[in-house]
Chains A and B, each alone.
Chain A
């Protein structure tokens, strides 16, 4: 319980930073921090494998991709962002606060009276692997197809505006 109580506010603070920071790069770095903390949360909950995967994929790939895109599309529009903020904040809160209320209500409704396990459930790697390729084999195949499509698609996107117009030498 203690790790949860320490981690939860940290995660929320980092997420708040990701939502609120004016400079896009700061926001992206806060996102990375928040995702890393979620990974630590998974470790604390006993899901080691998931935690490390979360860390590797989110911090190592997604966050890096995001900051990289921010680098490529760098623009100095923080001032505009801050200026526009109050208006968009109102609309944002109008939409998200009810959602939060509903969610919290549901949470408060569901948790009553359920017995909770205090023993750490095991997440053995071998079991995970076997389950992955037996019970969840169709899903794995689906993901595989999806990832292949993503890879090809992203490559095509990146390829389309190659260097051709600028390079008369045909290098």
Chain B
């Protein structure tokens, strides 16, 4: 991509010869439905997409390079800001990588807390996704407001626990920063109980809607082989029927202890992606219920883990988790100093985005918007 200098010119695909009838439109970076500062240079024939070129980097913040020049702990709040819809899974993935690198044990209670927070984050992400995708389809914000209403309740829990609604900075190497406050687990249990009815309402609002069916079905599907070759992970891959969920495929934490299922779609179109996320939310509720019931007493952080002057031994480690958007991995190389020698993120949003053009070709402009929405990107993670 970089070798193609045209991506740096202000409006590369927009200048066409007068001769052809194609319309070159730059969707974004200032566009209502690009989920941030994302840009697609679209070539249209009528309303049909003939070519589409994603252009990104407008939100590039040097995340990886900064992480190589600050201490291991100092990178933790930066990971919050990768995928800012779900900071806690980012924290978790990073903590996992460092623990693997330094060989730190995580106490039982901390593992349970991590699972609870991770699944709550999945709920947040998928709930917000429902709102966003309907917004992309042109519903005037109702679904978004309902989704955010419920998301706020989870964010309240996060605020009680971590002190911040979104930028949690909560996981530590060897556990979590602080223990659950009194009564938190009960509040969380109540939320888990109340979430089912909300999902029912949302499902009624969304799933039966004939307009939504017409808009979403058979849009943006790709053969599973292409998806696998493209490195697509997460709900997008499972919607196409590929059984790949890291919680099962390469279990981390204590996921083996819980009883949950992986929903699989068939066609892998936008509709399947929506429905898979719905079903995943219900499975998440199951996991949450089990985790809350089994939550043991004990340390919230490994007492042996150092906060100040943390120096992992020389080595490298890659740890991945099933983030709400897909496989989220951190690759760290340590040279024995307080800073990582190399720090690399495998962002699911970014990699899922790579097949955007293949999904959109031959479809309408309106389809591009919902396909982009169904990939569920967060530009903070794409551009880093």
What is the interface of chain A, defined by CB distance below 8 A to chain B?
72-76, 163, 166-169, 171
Contacts and interface: CB of A to CB of B under 8 A. Distances in A.
B45 interface: yes
Contacts of B50: 166
A160 to B, nearest CB: 15
B362 A167 contact: yes
B166 interface: no
Nearest to A163: B48
5 contacts: A73-B21, A163-B362, A166-B50, A166-B361, A171-B219
Given A166-B48, A169-B218, A171-B218, A74 B21 contact: yes
Interface of B: 18, 21, 45-46, 48, 50, 218-219, 221, 361-363
B362 A168 contact: yes
A76 B19 CA distance: 8
B18 A166 contact: no
A164 B17 CA distance: 26
Contacts of A76: 18
Contacts of A167: 48, 362-363
A153 to B, nearest CB: 21
Nearest to B23: A74
Contacts of B221: 169
A168 B358 CA distance: 11
A166 B45 contact: yes
The 10 closest A-B pairs by CB, nearest first: A167-B362, A166-B362, A76-B18, A171-B218, A166-B48, A168-B362, A169-B218, A163-B48, A169-B362, A169-B221
A73 B21 CA distance: 7
A171 B363 contact: yes
A75 B17 CA distance: 11
Nearest to A74: B21
A75 B362 contact: no
Given A166-B48, A169-B221, 10 more contacts: A72-B46, A76-B18, A166-B45, A166-B362, A167-B48, A167-B362, A167-B363, A169-B218, A169-B362, A171-B363
Contacts of B48: 163, 166-167
Chain B CB within 10 Å, residue with most, of A74, A163, A167, A169: A169
B18 A75 contact: yes
A167 B21 CA distance: 18
Contacts of A74: 21
